[in-house]
Structure formats: C-alpha cells, structure tokens
Structure 1
C-alpha cells in the first residue's frame, strides 16, 4: 500500500512539475555521487576555485546531501529550459556591442524557479499527508546552498555532465536551469543519466581562454564566467584580450554542443531575453553611473556584481574592439571614483590609443594613490621599454 501511494505521489509530482513549466524531472537518492565529491575535492585542492572562498568553506557539506540535511531521504531534481531564440555566438562578431550570457538576459532565474519549487514542495507535502503517508518535510534549493545540482541531475536521470562540466540533456541540449527539492519522503529513484559525449571535443576547443585542463575538468580561474562575474580581483592581463566583447558570462562551450540540435526556445516569459540585453551598445554601457546601472538591471542577475565590476568588464570589451570611437568615453573613465574602473580604463586606452595613454600617464601617476591603478600605468611604461 505504501509503495503504491509513493508511486502515485511521484506521478502527481511529475505532472505538477510540468504544469509549473519544468521540462525535466527525476529523483535521486540522498547519498549523492561519490565520484562527484572526489572531483570537487580535487578541484579545490588544486586551487581551481580561484577567489571563491565559499567553495572550500562548504566543501564537506557539498560532498553529500545528508551532510547538508541529515533527514533527507530523496532528492527531486528539476530543470527549466532557457534556450535562446538565436545563435548566442553571433554577438561575438559585433565589437561595438557587449555579449551577455543567455541566462542573464532577463529576470534572475533564482527568483523565477524558487517560487515554483516552493509551490511544488508545498503541494508534495500536502499530497503525501492526504495519501496516508504521514507528515513529511521538504526544502528547496536553487544554486543558493552547498548543493551539487549538476551531479544530482545526472544521478536523477535528467542528463549527464558533459566534458565542459555542465549538465546536458538529450531533449534540451545545454540550456537548463536546475533546482532541487530535498524531502524526507522515500521516493523511487530514477536511473542515472548516461554519458553521451563520445569523442566530441567541441566544447573544449571552443573555450577562448583554455579553461579546460582536460575533459570533465574546469579551471575556474581561466573561465570567462568566473572572470566577469565571480571574482572581484583584477582580471589577469594575459586573459583580457581573449575575452573579446564578453561582458557578463560566456556561452561558447554551451553553444557549440552538437546536442543543441534538440534544444527548444524558452517558453517561460520571464526567461525570454529582453531586446535591450541581446546586443547592448558598449557606448551606452560605458556611461552608466550607479543609479543608471541599478535601473537598467533591476531584477536581473547582473545587478549582483555591481556597477564597478560591470563597467570594468565593458572597458575590457571596448579595449578589445579596435574601435577608436570609444577613446573619449574611456578617457573620461580614467577619473572614475572606482579604482577597478580606472584601472581597466588605463588598459583599454592603451589598446586603442597608445599615444594618448602615454601622454596622460605622467600626470595620472602624480595624482593616483591606488596601487592597482598605478600598476596598470606602470605596465604601459614597461611595454614602451
């Protein structure tokens, strides 16, 4: 009787998840993946997490779901498709525009998915009680806790972790947002996903900064998504040129995946790209003060990195553009209140108008107290020698 009630509950949950816009659904056991835990430990031990201090701090809890919540018995993993309606790599050939990762071109997916998960979890617990299964609990997570969602997605049968370390689906390709419901219910688990990458190396070879030391391994310190979003440190000079016009995230390894031939365009309205974020003009983005930045990216995940980081990314893109039209705006930003903005303005001006940068250097060094900015001016001097 209990087995039948649990099976019926799982069927109800699957149908309700589809109603709420989730395209993929599966159940994993609470023990998690031993291999995934070992990979994570190796990743941290090698320092590939960069400045993301929260990764070693939460390592033990992240390795096993039961370390996060001892009472969990089953984990429901769900995915929502955010497939683009055009090739996201087309923007890379337009140096006057900024390339924003597909996932960040509209509402913050955390807000969209978490609300749906809470509704689904509430209905799960209520339905379980109505079915005579007793009182149970559930907790929802959307990239906001030490949960290894991609390995759990593979364990739940949603797909497999590809050579680029992201989850791949036969039905949706690369474009999936993941969320999970931890529950004390003992639901039947699904068969794990099977690796179908074969001999393909498209994602590895597409990476502009060579962030994959080997298949299934990522060095975040070289990943453009990490460089433009996660780290507050100055982006290494040796990686800036390879960033091109990518100003928030990078889709290259996802976009080239052959499995995207099965991908569908996002149907959730809040995840469909805003027109003004598909190919925003750099000349406008470089003029944003803090108030304008907050207004433009209200409700967007981009807002979280702040105006200083975002404009500094835009300056790198301008420096890579080869377009002299940006020189006036870049020069104005040499006096910006934010040190990181001033530093990247120095680098960008040097790329577009070295003669002007050399002319401005002596006076700029006389009034500049910040060592990060001074180091950019000194780098210009050394390059001259």
Structure 2
C-alpha cells in the first residue's frame, strides 16, 4: 500500500504544469461567464425591457456575491476540499448559465446571475489553493502569477466571441453557449487532478496577526483591481466623447487594453519562473500613473492614447499576478491559504465594484487629467502594500508555505533544502493532517 502511494505521487509529479494549466483554464472559463452579459446587453435590454441600471445589476451581481461572501467561502473551501469546490463551482456556473439563457424576466435573470456568482466565487477561491497544493518552488510562483491572468483573458474572450456572434445568435443562445465550457471542464478536472484530501483544522489558531499579511494583500488586490476596472470602464466614453472615435473603434480599443492585463500577468509568471524576486516586480507599478497622462490626453494621437492605456493595464496585470504569487508567503500555516484567497476575492471584488463610481466622481470634479492622480493614489497604495508583503528574494517566494504531501516533487531545489527536495517547514510541528 505504501508503494502504491509512492507510485501515485510519482505519477502526479510528471508534469505539474499540466495541473496548473488545467486549473488556469477553469478560471478563464469562469471569467467568460463573468463577462457574458455585456456583449448581449443591447439584445437583453430590448428583449426583457430592462433599464440601464437593471442591466448593470445583472452584469455586476456575480462580483457582488464575491464582495459579500469571499471570506466565508474561504472557510467553506477549507472544509469541503479545494479540488471538489473547484469542480462544483464550475458545475454551478454551468447550471446557472442555462437558467440565465432561459430567463424571461429581470428577476429570474438576476437570480440566475447571483447563483452563477456563487459558482464563480468557489472557482476563484479554490483555484489558487489547488495550485498551491500541486506545485512548489518556482513553478508555484509562476503558476499563481498565471492565475492572475484568468479574469482579463476570460473577459477578452467573452467580449470577442460574444461580439462576433451578436449578429448571428440570440442572447439566449450565447448565454447557453457559455454553460458548455464550465460543464466540460468540471468533468476534466475530476479526471485529471489528483484527489486532494479535505483539511481538518481546529479553530484554535486565532492569535493576533494571523491574517495581517493576507489582509494587506487583499487591500492591495482591491486597490489594483479598482484601478484596472475603472480605466477600462472610463476609456470608451473618453474615446467617443473627446476623441470622436466610433463605438466600434472604442470597443476594439477596450479589447486590446484588456489583453494588456493578461500580457502583464504572463510577464510576471515568466519572470518569477526565472527566479526573479516578487519584490523586484513591484517598482514597475510606477508605469500606471505615468501612462495615464498620455492615455487620457486629447492632444496625443489616438494610437498613442490606446497604447498608453494598454501599458496601464500591463502594469496593473503584472502587479495583480504578483499579489496571487505572494499569497502562500502571507500566511503562517499551509491550511490558511484557502481563507487567504477568500480575503483576496472579497476585497478585490469590493475594489471592482467601487472603481467605476470612484473614478466617475474624480472625473466630474477635476476632469480627465485627474485620472492619473487617482491612479497614483490607489495604484500607489496597492504597490506599497504589496512591497511590504512580498518576499525580498527569489527563494522566499516559495518558502512561506511548506510543500504539501500532494505537491508534485518539482526539480527546483531551494537553498537549505534536504536531499529529498522538501523545504524546511516551520509549520510541521503543528500539522493536523491525518
């Protein structure tokens, strides 16, 4: 039996990136559901007789669920098991998307989107936990940074695909299509991912400072998310009203800008995989307020403005990926990672909800030029908090959470590790896993 267990671990260790990419794809498909309503907005308003405000609620209700239930979801994922929560979250999203596609009123649509938000929350709390369990060392940092690209990648796919199908398909058919991917992926993950045991953790470890690191990262994530979503939301009216761009040009520009966030996240993963310290990425945050100046200037050529806005999102995406990569080092015990991810999702969702109205007030009070100042304020806050939390060395980026028994034995050997490849584990004396 012991040999069989060792054999199972050897099979699991063959390709940690296989598990990382499968988990990442689950997050991307969940993010497609997040952005599914926007491409069909006009058709939905016409079909169901919705006002702009009602449509906005249907669009943002998924994020609102995370803003309210992120931390409780972290506790629940800890007890239910991250792998099962990830698959069940996808399944809930699939069923809710079908319900949205058949909704005949705003109430049914809103209820379906709220249910989809529950599944979305499970995916985005459990996904990083699965990655933390199944990877280690440089692979872990890079995989968690890659996870930070899920939302912009999924939103870009939803915008491009939904926009292309808008003139051919009804909104019902489009929303039904978004249910297929999560359903298939739930089955794939059940087959592909190694089974992760549930963690039985007594509720006695509540010493002062337990969640300080996770809270700092959560506020950093919320501040950076606020900047990213606000820039994306205010860019179209700026281009159409002050640059005389057509709606089609503005829509294309937004898609390009959104992809900038994914590019930033991929760059973060590549740099971390090559051993760069997390703290070394943080100073790149200065790009955001500087790039906002030409991005929202009426004197710059349109291409320059769009390129500068893309650079803002590149910096934002890079720092958001660094936030996810820093989560394992922000907690003192491996079993706290799921709750830490719940904190991140809750505070990040608050930032997403606050971003457009906050920037709208800034623009109304001081004009478009004040966007750079608002970006400096909120982006600077996120950058400083990330700098005070992120590891200061490449080796530190993997050492905060010990290698779990389920993690594939990567080929990365950290300084101070023993020949078996296990890192020094300061949490071993308190391990409660059976």
Aligning the two structures, in what range does the TM-score lie when normalised by the shorter sequence? under 0.3
Output the TM-score relative to the length of structure 2: 0.24
Output the TM-score relative to the length of structure 1: 0.27
Q: Which has the higher helix share?
A: 2
